[in-house]
Structures are given as C-alpha cells and as structure tokens.
C-alpha cells in the first residue's frame, strides 16, 4: 500500500462523523479531567479523521469540545483513505499504545501540587508515588522570625513530608 503522510487543518465539528464502533469510554471523573484540561490548555492534539470526515481517534476530545461550545477543531487527515482494517487498527492503536509512568521519577522530581492538578489523586500520591530511595535520616530544621512565615512554609512543606512515612517536620519561631 501507498505510504501515508498527514496534513493538518481545521474542520467544523458538525461535519465530522463519529465512529459508532468506537470502543473507548470515559468515566465521569476522567471526563471532568479532560474537560478541565481542554478548558485550561485548549486542543493540543488534533482529532484524527479520514478524508471524508469519519473520526478515527479523538472521540472523547471531540465530545468534550462540543460540550464546551467549540464550533471548529484541528484535525489530522491521512494522504489517502485508510482501508477498513487500517481504520479499525488505528482506532485501537491511538488509545492502546501508550507509555507508563516512572513513579520513582514522579516521586523524586515532580511537585505534588502539579501531579494533583494533572489528575492524580491524593491516594495515588501516597500509594503509588512514594519515593523508592527513602532516606535513612530526613530532617528539616527551619527558624523563622515571625509566625506567619512559619505557618505558610509549614503548610506548603507538609504534602512533601507526607510522602516520607517515617519523616517528621519540626519548625519553630525564634
């Protein structure tokens, strides 16, 4: 078969034809996360379609954008119409082939508030994203001149301290 290249353009959402056999569904929670992400960042991954407008991938983004009042959407269009087998295979591949998180890296290099605002729950942070390289001794000693600074820093450090079950934090005002 002829090699496929892709072009990118805008299409009216109402012109796109959803695949009635699309096997992907979103839970209410994941749907809200997608809605929040699209509301915050917009569409950064195009919807993948056949030249005739049949949707191959991006059904959930399309539905969410529609609910947010979008009229147009960026799309990726193959240089030729995909065969039925290619269409079905790509529909699955776009959703099935994905990476996994390196939880050690998340625990040691990413801030908990960034992870939570990106969709991780507090439970996931405490059960899956626990630093693997736990220090034998972990202490933070901070002295403050006023109690307002102390309370502010203590509040912001507590989520980090919580990632280390054996750690304690002592802060004091001198």
Global pTM? Answer: 0.67
Share of the chain above pLDDT 70, in %: 81
Q: Are residues 92 and 11 in the same domain?
A: yes
Q: What is the domain extent for residue 70?
A: 6-96
Q: How many domains is the chain partitioned into structurally?
A: 2
Q: Are residues 153 and 130 in the same domain?
A: yes
Question: Phi/psi of residue 158, each to 5°?
Answer: -55, -45
More confidently predicted of 115 and 168: 115
Segment 16-29, tens digit of pLDDT: 999 998 888 888 98
Domain boundary among 96, 121, 136: 96
Q: Are residues 57 and 81 in the same domain?
A: yes
Range name among 11-25, 53-67, 68-82, 133-147 with the lowest pLDDT average: 133-147
Q: With beta carbons less than 8 A apart as the criterion, state whether 157 and 140 touch.
A: yes
CA gap 52, 17 in Å, rounded: 8
Segment 27-54, tens digit of pLDDT: 898 889 899 999 888 889 999 999 999 9
């Amino acid at each position: 078969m002829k090699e496929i290249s892709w072009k990118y353009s805008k299409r009216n959402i109402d012109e796109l034809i959803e695949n009635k056999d699309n096997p992907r569904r979103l839970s209410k929670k994941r749907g809200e996360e997608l809605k929040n992400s699209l509301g915050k960042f917009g569409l950064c991954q195009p919807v993948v379609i056949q030249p005739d407008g049949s949707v191959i991938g991006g059904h959930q983004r399309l539905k969410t954008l529609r609910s947010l009042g979008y009229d147009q959407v960026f799309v990726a269009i193959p240089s030729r119409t995909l065969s039925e087998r290619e269409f079905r295979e790509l529909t699955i591949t776009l959703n099935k082939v994905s990476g996994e998180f390196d939880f050690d890296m998340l625990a040691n290099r990413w801030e908990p508030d960034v992870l939570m605002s990106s969709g991780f729950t507090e439970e996931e942070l405490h059960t899956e994203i626990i630093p693997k390289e736990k220090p034998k001794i972990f202490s933070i000693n901070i002295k403050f001149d006023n109690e307002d600074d102390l309370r502010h820093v203590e509040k912001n450090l507590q989520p980090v301290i919580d990632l280390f079950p054996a750690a304690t934090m002592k802060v004091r005002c001198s």
